[in-house]
Structure 1
Amino acid sequence: MKRTALSAAILLATSPALADTPNTDDAQTLETVQVTASRIAQTVDETLASVTIIDREEIERLQPQQFTDLLEGRAGIETSQNSAFGKTSSVYTRGTSSDHTLLLIDGVRMGSATTGGASWQFLPPEEIERVEIVRGPRTSIYGSDAIGGVVQVFTREGRKGPPKVDAFVGGGSFNTWETGVGVAGGTENTNYSLSVSHFETDGINVQDGVGDEDRDGYDNTSLATKVSHRLDNGIEVFGSILYSEGESEFDSTEGDDYTDYVHAAIRAGLRLRLTDRWDTELSVSHSRDENDRYTDGSFASQYDTKRDSVDWLNEIFLTDHLLLTAGLDAREDRIDVDDPGFLGAEEYAETSRYNVGGFGILQADLGRHLLEGSLRYDDNEQFGSKTTGQMAWGIQVAEAWRLRASYGTAFKAPTFNELYHPDIGFFRGNPDLDPEESETFELGARYSVEPGYLDVSIFETRVDNLIAGFAPPENVEEARIRGLEIEGGYERGQWLSRASLTLLDAEDRETGNELPRRSPVTARFDLDRQFQRFSAGGSVIAKSRSYNDRNNDIRLSGYGLVNLRASYQIAPEWQLQASVKNVFDKDYETALGYNQPGRAAFVKLRYQQR
């Protein structure tokens, strides 16, 4: 075991800082560290999971306008949006449902307890330091929801040194404007960061022939802060906040239709070393996913989720080659629903529930071989107990080659809508629903040597007890998903490149049809070149056709998008960026009836103290 890497993090999984870990680079070399796969600090080459890292350098280079721009076309990832800029978005990991991907923000579990999905559309790219994508089941570590995988977002962070300012202002098509400023730094014992940003756009007309024909805008004001401090007795205290609020317009009536939202993740805790072989961390967290909907300017509905959690995590070296990571967690979900249009005077049968879980991960380093096993037990107020597990094995067959194999089980708890929604005729809840369950097999190989890497994996996931229907929903469906993922990166001189390809067969076993909005083929290629002060690059994202419905009657055409970007270093601390999205003005949809932007251009002036 590489005690130095683990100790540098001290249970870095879900930690608010990465001050002492090596910087990541675009070729994902051996020094790239991730923490989401097993809740400990590991290099990407050491982990036995399929992992993709998107660091701050890459985020700035890609110049995304929305968070899903970072995910689209990555290995095993597909997204769909009900139009652009703050509109409902879905993320499908390895062909599983959107609510089968767990979103974490600095270790805080996010998502709506009523719908089950995460609000990906409200994540502000400018406040993000790093994104870690782990493909494959992680329920045996994180509990419900992680059937397809986990996406963890880490907010901006400070490092040892004097305060440094990062500020930007930009604008472009659709009357889009954005601005922000942040400061970050650190001392021998303290790291800190604080930033605020604002994004607003007139957007595009979300749907033709629905409501008015005006553009449907979006605005997002975000604040992020993170601090950690080590006391004289060695105890480290830490805290982090990501808070976003704003308004997103949509089409429903001829009047003003919009959603007021709040999206927040708050966490605080302490970590300490109990012995030379035992590190521990205790934290509390709070998350919010609030949506108040207005149609024709009048209140229409309120669907708010609040979640409180307590986590206790321990890292214990049993021997120099045997590591145990164990923890307990408890959380309570609460909903506040007011929907007079559908519910009238009725209320949900239940408006809160708790879940208590315990897990253990045992890792054995046997030279060329690495073994990992995890087991988790959940006790849920609604459906009782559930046990999940995972086993993985890796072998270093050569200096640059590692092979891996794994098997894991996972589950997804039913949502409040599926369980407790009042009877409104065409929809009602079913309190007797069982969790959706899955098992996944995976084989993978990774080649990693300067100046690049190549990762290949094949997998099969079977999901049972899929929840379908509305009046009431029932556990009736089964799905089988098979896939091949290829991801690679290369850095040579002034050239940077990264590519991914996913082949997917996602089948509804009841009907033989393809699961909706899953393309059999997705691909992405990013290429950038540095010319002293000037840099230029582009991305090609392609998807084959898919179907919008379970019966496969409504076909969504495949498409390919080309995005171009450039930057110029005006001075050591000043940079001008520019991008053109959808260069060839492609007309396409990722969800039936919802428009996507045509060709669009954006510019940004950035000031970064070095």
Structure 2
Amino acid sequence: MKRSILSAAIVAAVSPAVADEAPGTDSDAATLEPVQVTATRLSRTVDEALASVTVIDREEIERLQPRQFTDLVEGRAGVSVSSAGPFGKQSSVRLRGTESDHHLMLIDGVRMGSATTGGASWQFLPPEEIERVEIVRGPRTSIYGSDAIGGVTQVFSRAGREGPPRVNAFLGAGSFSTWEAGLGVAGGTGRTDYSLSVSMYDTEGINVQDDMGDDDPDGYDNTSLAGKVAHRLDNGIELFGNVLYSEGNTEVDTFSTDETDFVHGAVQAGVRFPVLEQWDTELAYAQSRDENENFENGVADSRFDTRRDQLTWRNDVRLGERTDLIAGVDAYEDRVDSNEDFDEDSRYNVGVYSVVRTELGNHDLEGSLRYDDNEQFGDKTTGQVAWGMQATDALRLRASYGTAFKAPTFNDLYWPDQGWFRGNPDLAPEESQTFELGGRYSASLAYVDVAVFETRVDDLIVNRCVANCDDGNPFSDVYEPRNVENARIRGLEIEGGHDLGPWNSRVSLTLLDAEDRDTGNELERRAPVSARFDLDRRIGDLSVGGTVLARGRTYDDASNDERLSGYGTMNLRAAYALDPEWTVEGSLTNLFDRDYETQGGFNNPGRAAFVKLRYQQQR
């Protein structure tokens, strides 16, 4: 019955939308004006966006030499990372002070995340398989549905381009008995572009907790496969498909789990074709997986496998020279397969959305509206309006207001009553409203982007004691999630950079005031101030650079009793081109061997060194 509902919703929806290429999205745009599509599903340069956007391209990824995905985004404007240790350990990536599960992850447009916990598995993303990262800060629920209260981060896997096949490969090693290797090929003809690659990462890691489990290092291994293909027919029809799949094992120190086998992946196939001269449409099916099997003393202890089947229909319509419309339907069904006896193991969601953008002189207006029908909580309508003005040739101003929501997770709703915790099927979605003012100054090869915002989140879901709370025996307490708290988050973000001759820099500063409105306490693990500075220089065939990260003190608990000290770290890197195809890279992380925590009780690596040999076949 549920599948027939999904099919009927998609067939019944009739909607138009926007051309893939908008004016000004020339592929030869300057490095500091990259094209992004995540903010509105419409191709625009970052300078044209009416949102706060950060783009990290493949060139920057290779220059920064990250060991894990969180190394790429930590300290960026509005971004905060906390983790239960490095190398495949549970990681939270917060946008603008909201929760990590208020932050939607997309892989090539496919929704990711665990249906049981609600959060995305950022720790399993392989940096070597990533072509580009787009971070959009601020609500995007009116475009993408649930979870995008703080924003959206979209990861694009590596793609092929027209030309003969080109092989790329790398081999690296370093501290903590770490090694990595990968091999790929990419190319294209006039009709077909393709890319296929595989990578492996293995490390003994570090002991992530001193007072839990054993004292041995907690290792991690990850084997990943990425592929992408697009084929164009004579009649304008384009067939496309992509996959990004990772599996491996991560060792942990908890009271009940020693290690976890994981699967994290997305696969998609679809077709694009013109309906009319000004109307293109796209149909796609996708599936994402987030699977974990936990072991204690080598014996399987628990299993949480979640799968999301997704159907999307998107339409792009050019309504005039200065007006674009995107509209469509996306429907998905979450399924849970677990050794825990959840009261429900599946639910569907159907969403209908539209985005309109128009230019009026030097003003831009943008509006989006979305209606979601969810099997569990019913319907929800969200919207967003934005305004932009080209004040001068170099200065662009913007303002926006948007609403968003986060659906309760399967753990929140349907966890079986085990005496100490139970789900609550009567939970309502968490809701938010966000105001933002911003400006972007772009001149020659430098830019500065500034944004101020306020987000109010209502009906936050918090576990509360509901039985035996005052009997003096904490082990008899029974907890249940309730919609009981509200939060107010205010912030200032500054991001800038330049590409001038041999010099390249990026700088970010975030000031944050994240308050629980019911208690007046700070929200846990939100630093009032954080900053990042990347500086690189090319000297002939040699490039050298470094990253400085700084983060103010935070609290590790809602009552603000457990304080985590602020810290600063410095990473150094260098790369030398042996010839046009071979490059040797080296990095030294945590140069001053700082001891710090982003989550209470969990260690981070001290000083560490890594080297890598990279090959990129030239045409």
Q: Provide, for residues 539-583 of structure 1, a one-character-per-residue CA deviation record: whole Å limited to 9, x for no partner.
A: 000000000000000000000010000000001100000000000
- Aligned partner of residue 62 in structure 2, secondary structure: helix
TM-score by length of structure 1 reads 0.95
Q: Provide, for residues 207-252 of structure 1, a one-character-per-residue CA deviation record: whole Å limited to 9, x for no partner.
A: 1021110001000000000000001111000000001000000113
Tell me by how many angstroms 1:189 deviates.
Answer: 0.9
Q: 1:587 to 1:207 in 2, by over 3 A?
A: same
- Aligned partner of residue 88 in structure 2, secondary structure: coil
Q: Provide, for residues 158-196 of structure 1, a one-character-per-residue CA deviation record: whole Å limited to 9, x for no partner.
A: 000000011000000000000001000000011000000
Partners of 2:28 and 2:409 lie apart in 1 by 39
Partner in structure 1 of residue 594 of structure 2? 586
Residue 324 of structure 1 contacts residue 363 of structure 1 at CA under 8 Å; is this kept in 2? Answer: yes
- Aligned partner of residue 404 in structure 2, secondary structure: strand
Partner in structure 2 of residue 535 of structure 1? 543
Partner in structure 1 of residue 72 of structure 2? 70
Alignment of 1:429 with 2:439, yes or no, is: no
Partner in structure 1 of residue 200 of structure 2? 198
* Aligned residue runs from structure 1 range 283-322, under 5 A: 283-322=284-323
Amino acid at match of 1:282: L
Partners of 2:359 and 2:539 lie apart in 1 by 44
Tell me by how many angstroms 1:426 deviates.
Answer: 2.1
Q: Provide, for residues 15-61 of structure 1, a one-character-per-residue CA deviation record: whole Å limited to 9, x for no partner.
A: xxxxx9626765x23xx100000001001111100000000000000
Alignment of 1:412 with 2:413, yes or no, is: no
Alignment of 1:466 with 2:460, yes or no, is: yes
Tell me by how many angstroms 1:7 deviates.
Answer: 4.5
Partner in structure 2 of residue 240 of structure 1? 242
TM-score by length of structure 2 reads 0.93
Residue 147 of structure 2 contacts residue 405 of structure 2 at CA under 8 Å; is this kept in 1? Answer: yes
Residue 544 of structure 1 contacts residue 559 of structure 1 at CA under 8 Å; is this kept in 2? Answer: yes
Amino acid at match of 1:432: D
Amino acid at match of 1:588: Y
* Aligned residue runs from structure 1 range 162-181, under 5 A: 162-181=164-183
Q: 1:8 to 1:328 in 2, by over 3 A?
A: closer
Residue 20 of structure 2 contacts residue 42 of structure 2 at CA under 8 Å; is this kept in 1? Answer: no
Tell me by how many angstroms 1:424 deviates.
Answer: 1.4
Alignment of 1:570 with 2:578, yes or no, is: yes
Partners of 2:534 and 2:22 lie apart in 1 by 34
Q: Provide, for residues 76-95 of structure 1, a one-character-per-residue CA deviation record: whole Å limited to 9, x for no partner.
A: 00000100000000011000
Partners of 1:10 and 1:423 lie apart in 2 by 53
- Aligned partner of residue 59 in structure 2, secondary structure: helix
Q: 1:329 to 1:572 in 2, by over 3 A?
A: same
Amino acid at match of 2:39: A
Alignment of 1:22 with 2:27, yes or no, is: yes
Alignment of 1:446 with 2:440, yes or no, is: yes
Q: Provide, for residues 494-539 of structure 1, a one-character-per-residue CA deviation record: whole Å limited to 9, x for no partner.
A: 0000100000000000100000000000000000000010010000
Partner in structure 2 of residue 130 of structure 1? 132
Partner in structure 2 of residue 265 of structure 1? 266
Q: 1:38 to 1:146 in 2, by over 3 A?
A: same
Amino acid at match of 1:590: T
* Aligned residue runs from structure 1 range 487-506, under 5 A: 487-506=495-514
Tell me by how many angstroms 1:393 deviates.
Answer: 0.3
Partners of 1:497 and 1:538 lie apart in 2 by 10
Aligned residue-pair number: 586
Partner in structure 2 of residue 553 of structure 1? 561
Q: Provide, for residues 570-598 of structure 1, a one-character-per-residue CA deviation record: whole Å limited to 9, x for no partner.
A: 01100000000000000000000011000
Runs ≥4 in structure 1, deviation > 6 angstroms?
none
Partners of 1:410 and 1:291 lie apart in 2 by 29
Alignment of 1:523 with 2:531, yes or no, is: yes
Q: 1:606 to 1:23 in 2, by over 3 A?
A: farther
Partners of 1:337 and 1:379 lie apart in 2 by 26
- Aligned partner of residue 511 in structure 1, secondary structure: coil
Residue 25 of structure 1 contacts residue 55 of structure 1 at CA under 8 Å; is this kept in 2? Answer: no
Amino acid at match of 1:452: A
- Aligned partner of residue 604 in structure 2, secondary structure: coil
Residue 19 of structure 2 contacts residue 318 of structure 2 at CA under 8 Å; is this kept in 1? Answer: no
Amino acid at match of 1:539: T
Partners of 1:284 and 1:229 lie apart in 2 by 17
Partner in structure 1 of residue 475 of structure 2? none
Which residue, 227, 230, 238 being the options, matches 1:228? 230
Amino acid at match of 2:336: I
Q: 1:262 to 1:350 in 2, by over 3 A?
A: same
Q: Provide, for residues 70-122 of structure 1, a one-character-per-residue CA deviation record: whole Å limited to 9, x for no partner.
A: 01000000000100000000011000000000000000000000000000000
Which residue, 445, 451, 457 being the options, matches 2:451? 457
Partners of 1:244 and 1:126 lie apart in 2 by 12
- Aligned partner of residue 47 in structure 2, secondary structure: coil
Q: Aligned Cα RMSD in Å?
A: 1.4
Partners of 1:139 and 1:24 lie apart in 2 by 29
Partner in structure 2 of residue 184 of structure 1? 186
Which residue, 484, 487, 507 being the options, matches 2:492? 484
Amino acid at match of 1:63: Q
Gaps of 5+ in 2: 1-17, 465-478
Partner in structure 2 of residue 16 of structure 1? none
Partners of 2:30 and 2:444 lie apart in 1 by 12
Tell me by how many angstroms 1:425 deviates.
Answer: 2.1
Residue 252 of structure 1 contacts residue 295 of structure 1 at CA under 8 Å; is this kept in 2? Answer: no
Residue 19 of structure 2 contacts residue 279 of structure 2 at CA under 8 Å; is this kept in 1? Answer: no
Partners of 2:271 and 2:221 lie apart in 1 by 35
Q: 1:436 to 1:273 in 2, by over 3 A?
A: same
Partner in structure 1 of residue 120 of structure 2? 118
Partner in structure 2 of residue 401 of structure 1? 395
Partners of 1:515 and 1:92 lie apart in 2 by 12
Residue 231 of structure 2 contacts residue 240 of structure 2 at CA under 8 Å; is this kept in 1? Answer: yes
Amino acid at match of 2:442: S
Please, which moves more after superposition, 277-286 or 465-474? 465-474
Tell me by how many angstroms 1:407 deviates.
Answer: 0.1
- Aligned partner of residue 233 in structure 1, secondary structure: coil
Residue 514 of structure 1 contacts residue 552 of structure 1 at CA under 8 Å; is this kept in 2? Answer: yes
Partners of 1:38 and 1:209 lie apart in 2 by 47
Partner in structure 1 of residue 372 of structure 2? 378
Tell me by how many angstroms 1:491 deviates.
Answer: 1.2
Partners of 1:576 and 1:387 lie apart in 2 by 52
Please, which moves more after superposition, 596-605 or 423-432? 423-432
- Aligned partner of residue 142 in structure 2, secondary structure: helix
- Aligned partner of residue 65 in structure 1, secondary structure: coil
Partner in structure 2 of residue 96 of structure 1? 98
Tell me by how many angstroms 1:257 deviates.
Answer: 1.5
Partner in structure 2 of residue 356 of structure 1? 350
Partner in structure 1 of residue 381 of structure 2? 387
Question: What percentage of residue pairs aligned between the two structures are identical?
Answer: 65
Partners of 1:10 and 1:108 lie apart in 2 by 23
Tell me by how many angstroms 1:367 deviates.
Answer: 2.2
Partner in structure 1 of residue 58 of structure 2? 56
Residue 129 of structure 1 contacts residue 157 of structure 1 at CA under 8 Å; is this kept in 2? Answer: yes
Q: 1:493 to 1:528 in 2, by over 3 A?
A: same
